[in-house]
Structure 1
Amino acid sequence: MTRRMRAAAIGIAAALLLTGCASDPLAEQYKEGSNKGYIAGDGSVTEIPEAERGESISFSGTTEGGDQISSVDFAGEVLVVNFWYAACAPCRAEAPDLQELSAAYDGKGAQFIGVNVYDQADTALSFNETYGITYPSILDVQDGAVKLAFTGTVPPKAVPTTIVLDKEGRVSARILGQLKEASILSTLVSDAIDE
């Protein structure tokens, strides 16, 4: 019995040692101790072919202006959903591009909406004023219901994350992390409109 226990202990120790050797980018960001307050994405783009998309994503919430908004409000249009918060440096960096694209696609088959995962209304409104953001954001800080709605398909694992929903409300693309090139998101939106 002692020999078996010793062998099991050695096996467990070896497994733990090997697990410690694996590279985990999220763990590395945490360990670096930069206190940046967010887990950064790498800007990777995931596109989902039309035939492989799952069910429509349904969500609703209250905007920074106190209005109720729902995914149903955008039925038949492409919807660009950006997860963000004001103290997130990449969120601030991509804000002008998102606003520019939102204005460019206004009335042309696509709408933009933000999902603020951290701030209260006053902070979100101040951010909008600073960066000239005109599209609404749902305040998702209390229960994370909007973020949860996307979890089964392509979860927003980092902030910022931008998700494109097709005209049927299904996820067609995700940009994990800061939008580096506005042209990439523009292409994803145009492709979804043209489907």
Structure 2
Amino acid sequence: MNESSPNPRFLNRRTMLRSMLVAAAAVPLAACSVTEDPLAKQARSGDNKNYIAGDGAVQEYLPEKRSEPIEITTETYQGTPIDLAALRGKPVVLNFWYAACAPCRIEAPHLKELSEDFGEDVPFIGVNVRDEAEASLAFERTFEIPYESVQDTDGQIQLAMTKYVPLQAVPSTLVLDREGRVRARVIGAIEKGTLKSLIDTALTEEL
């Protein structure tokens, strides 16, 4: 063998080491891709498949421009009775959502944190517009949502609220004042700071 020729065994070891380093470097990237929610990624990319999303636009209503108190009497997927009239004296947050809605997944951690921050002072209620119990409860477990949702697959609640929540505009969020009237709405995924400000105002405003 020519003395200047590379040693085949040395080349094999070097090739093996290079392959091992490339494989090791790829592991963290693979782990990251597995943990990212694909529907949330879809929403961030602007690909509005399977839902009609708003842009997070906020509208607030002066007391003299607000509707009559909202009346909803139903029960949650867990069987808990819901009567908005019994919650008068507190602001209430109503969030319209469904499990396969990509922006709903983006806003879910913010809703969780805010509902925990405000606690019993501000009840949160989800209004699920598409899902049966299994899908809804699985979503709540995945995102550790502390409040319960009511089923509105027949569209009765949405139809009664079309003045504020356009059909298929999901997610949408309403903040009711202490008298049960719609004080503010957000069409599209909420920003945590914005919704917190709306709730704070609903807690302290003079009616």
Whether the TM-score (by the shorter chain) exceeds 0.5 is: yes
Q: Shorter-chain TM-score: what band?
A: 0.7 to 0.9
Q: Whole-Å Cα distance in 2 between the matches of residues 38 and 101 of structure 1? A: 24
- Structure 2: runs of 5 or more not aligned: 1-46
Does 1:114 find its partner at 2:126?
yes
Flag the 1:95–1:171 CA change in 2: closer, same or farther, 3 A. Answer: same
CA RMSD in angstroms comes to 1.4
Aligned residues: 158
1:192 corresponds in structure 2 to 202
Flag the 1:85–1:58 CA change in 2: closer, same or farther, 3 A. Answer: same
Aligned partner of 1:148 among 129, 135, 159:
159
Does 1:160 find its partner at 2:178?
no
Does 1:71 find its partner at 2:84?
yes
2:72 corresponds in structure 1 to 59
Paired residue type of 2:187: L
Aligned partner of 1:125 among 127, 137, 141:
137
The higher radius of gyration belongs to 2
- TM-score for both structures, normalised by structure 1: 0.77
Superimposed CA distance per residue, residues 141-161 of structure 1 (whole angstroms, 9 cap, x where no aligned partner): 1x222212212x312441000
Q: Aligned-pair distance for 1:103?
A: 0.5
1:178 corresponds in structure 2 to 189
Q: Is the contact between residue 71 and residue 84 of structure 2 (CA under 8 Å) also seen in structure 1?
A: yes
- Structure 1: runs of 5 or more not aligned: 1-33
Aligned partner of 2:99 among 86, 106, 113:
86
Paired residue type of 1:62: E
- TM-score for both structures, normalised by structure 2: 0.73
Flag the 1:49–1:129 CA change in 2: closer, same or farther, 3 A. Answer: same
Paired residue type of 1:125: L
Q: Whole-Å Cα distance in 1 between the matches of residues 175 and 48 of structure 2? A: 30
- Structure 1 segments of 4 or more deviating over 4 A? none
Q: Aligned-pair distance for 1:189?
A: 0.3
Q: Whole-Å Cα distance in 2 between the matches of residues 118 and 101 of structure 1? A: 24
Paired residue type of 1:173: A
Superimposed CA distance per residue, residues 25-79 of structure 1 (whole angstroms, 9 cap, x where no aligned partner): xxxxxxxxx6711111111000111221121111122311122312123121100
Specify the SS of the correspondent of 2:113: helix
Paired residue type of 2:195: L
How high is the sequence identity, in percent, across the aligned residues?
48
Q: Whole-Å Cα distance in 1 between the matches of residues 119 and 111 of structure 2? A: 12
Does 1:49 find its partner at 2:28?
no
